[in-house]
Structures are given as C-alpha cells and as structure tokens.
C-alpha cells in the first residue's frame, strides 16, 4: 500500500467509510498517513451527503474511495451501479452514492462494501498482509464479512453477505432475532443490536453476565467455523464494537476449534489459532484506510494491482 501511495506522486486521496450509524471521512497523504479524519452521523442522504461533499471539496481530493454499507450494486455494467439496494436503512434504499459524489466532485471514485474495504486495508498493510485469501469480520451494530480471495475482493453475483448466514439457535435462547429477513442469521442473533434487544441492556451494561457472552461466543464461533469451512482463509481479522470486549476472543477461538473438531488439518487452526483469528493491524482505521485504497485503485484504473 505504501508503494501504491508513493506511486500517486503527491496526489491527495479521499476515503469514506459509509456506515449505518456514522460516516467516517478521511484524507490521506502520499505516505499513507491520514491527514484528517472526521465523523458525520448517518441520517438522511439529503442531510449527510452535502456535509461530506463540503469536506472533500475543501481538501481538493483527486480521487475518492468509498467502502459502503450494503446491499449495494457493485456491477459496473449495471445501470444501477453505485446504488444502495433494499437496505433496512429506508432513507438510503435506492440512493446512488457514487453518482452523488461524481456529480459534485468530478474525480474518479472507487466503490466496494465497507467490509471489503476493510479487508483490502488489512490484506494490504494490516494483520492479513501477504495473504491471498483472508476475511475481515465485524461484529458491531450489524455483522459484516469482507472477503479477499485469490488476490482480489469478492463480488460475484452481487457481493458476499456473510453476516446473514444461517446458524443454529441455542435451545435456551428465546429471542426471536433482530434481522427483519432471517430468524436465525448471525446478524439477527449476535450483532450489538441483537444483544441489546435480547437482554434489554446495552453490551457495556452486561459485562458481569456470563451467559450473555457465552451465547455470543457460541454464535460468532458457529459463523466463523462455517466461514473457515467455506473459504479456507489464511487469516481471519475479527473486530467491531462487540469485539472490543477482548475476553470474547479466547472464548470464540476455543469454540471454533471444538466445532471444527480437527477436520481442517492445519497448525494455524489446531495449535496457533491465537495468530489466526486476530484483531486488525490497522485498528479502527482498517475501513478508512481500505476506502482510501479503493480511491487509489480508481485513480490508477482497474488494472492496477496493489
């Protein structure tokens, strides 16, 4: 990534990590260091977009990279490329975030999902550096999975939605789930919103209740075991608001090993899982750094490889 920045010979690249609760905007210099970073609450496009446009105009950016919450149309051949699809965030459903910035900024714009952006950041200069297949999983307000496979971010038909894979509900869990579409998906049972709705309190007020965290670790481990069986990733970067509770990491790692039960034969999983399921090397900047990198790619053209 540093190389990629240097290739930009002094150009200023903007990055936007577009989330359901907040928009993280940043400006990076040619050494890959953030010159500026601001947070704007995600309300409606009419209210939120102009604030961001003003910010990026002020910095005279020469390209913008966007890592956006989804579902979003990433198919450049599609007439609705850049449009946020059937999102639970009603005001944003059907909004074309790429066109909004293109029309105002007239610079090349790179787009991917927020989690794919974070995965790109971690693979390029974070905890998954050098991997050709790796995942970035976030357990926060929602659950998202960014997928880098065979040296590129995965889009396929639309883009992965690993946060919505179906898992087995515990018999002692009477909560109906908080996903409007799936009664037993990971996001519906293990997101921060799910925890708060199930227990009637926010995660930080539940620190002393072991069952809350055992259940959480069970659900996240089920999802990760399935991700490992499906993708065979070389590294799993796990983060998000809920994972700030570091005690969850050993609980999840132990359960993942138990669920796989020795079937995936590799020392990384069997004896070195502490270095396999890890926190992001870029910390809270994984998503924003990845977004900037999407901007670098947009300026370089699709053919450019970091």
Interface residues for its own copies in 115-144 (CB under 8 A)? 132-133
Segment near its own copies (CB under 8 A), from 55-63, 211-219, 253-261, 289-297? 253-261
Residue 236 CA to residue 138 CA, distance in Å, equals 11
Q: What is the size of the binding site for its own copies (CB under 8 A)?
A: 50
Report if residue 158 touches its own copies, rule: CB under 8 A.
Answer: yes
Closest to its own copies by CB, 237 vs 260, is 260
Quote the least distance from Cβ 81 to its own copies, whole Å.
Answer: 13
Q: Give percent helix, percent strand, percent coil of the chain, each to the nearest 5.
A: 40, 20, 40
Contact with its own copies (CB under 8 A) among 231, 242, 278, 292: 231
Angle 251-256-258 from CA coordinates, rounded to 5°:
95
Instruction: At 209, give phi and psi (nearest 5°).
Output: -110, 95
Report if residue 268 touches its own copies, rule: CB under 8 A.
Answer: yes
Segment near its own copies (CB under 8 A), from 23-31, 42-50, 147-155, 246-254? 147-155
51 CB-near residues (< 8 Å, 6+ apart)? 40
Residue 202 CA to residue 253 CA, distance in Å, equals 24
H or E segment and range at residue 288: helix 286-300
Residue 254 CA to residue 16 CA, distance in Å, equals 35
Closest to its own copies by CB, 52 vs 220, is 220
Catalog residues that contact its own copies under the rule CB under 8 A: 71, 85-86, 132-133, 145, 147, 149-152, 154-162, 164-169, 181-182, 184, 222, 225-234, 259-266, 268-269
């Amino acid at each position: 990534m540093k190389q990629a920045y240097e290739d930009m010979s002094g150009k200023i690249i903007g990055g936007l990590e577009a989330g359901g609760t907040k928009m993280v905007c940043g400006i990076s210099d040619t050494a890959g260091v953030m010159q500026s970073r601001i947070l704007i609450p995600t309300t409606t496009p009419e209210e939120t977009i102009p604030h961001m446009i003003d910010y990026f105009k002020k910095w005279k950016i020469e390209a913008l990279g966007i890592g956006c919450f989804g579902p979003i149309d990433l198919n450049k051949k599609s007439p609705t490329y850049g449009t946020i699809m059937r999102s639970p965030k009603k005001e944003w459903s059907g909004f074309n975030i790429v066109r909004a910035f293109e029309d105002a900024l007239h610079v090349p714009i790179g787009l991917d999902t927020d989690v794919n952006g974070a995965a790109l950041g971690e693979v390029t200069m974070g905890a998954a550096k050098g991997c050709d297949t790796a995942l970035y999983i976030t357990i926060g307000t929602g659950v998202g999975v960014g997928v880098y496979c065979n040296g590129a971010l995965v889009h396929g038909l639309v883009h992965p939605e690993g946060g919505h894979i179906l898992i087995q509900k515990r018999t002692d869990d009477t909560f109906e789930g908080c996903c409007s579409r799936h009664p037993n998906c990971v996001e519906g049972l293990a997101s921060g919103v799910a925890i708060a709705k199930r227990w009637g309190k926010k995660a930080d007020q539940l620190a002393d209740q072991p069952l809350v965290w055992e259940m959480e670790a069970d659900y996240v481990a089920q999802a990760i075991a399935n991700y490992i069986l499906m993708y065979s990733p070389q590294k799993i970067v796990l983060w998000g608001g809920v994972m700030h509770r570091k005690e969850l990491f050993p609980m999840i790692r132990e359960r993942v090993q138990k669920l796989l039960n020795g079937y995936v034969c590799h020392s990384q999983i069997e004896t070195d899982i502490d270095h396999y399921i890890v926190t992001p090397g870029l910390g809270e900047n994984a998503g924003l750094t990845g977004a900037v990198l999407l901007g670098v790619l947009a300026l370089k053209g699709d053919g450019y490889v970091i």
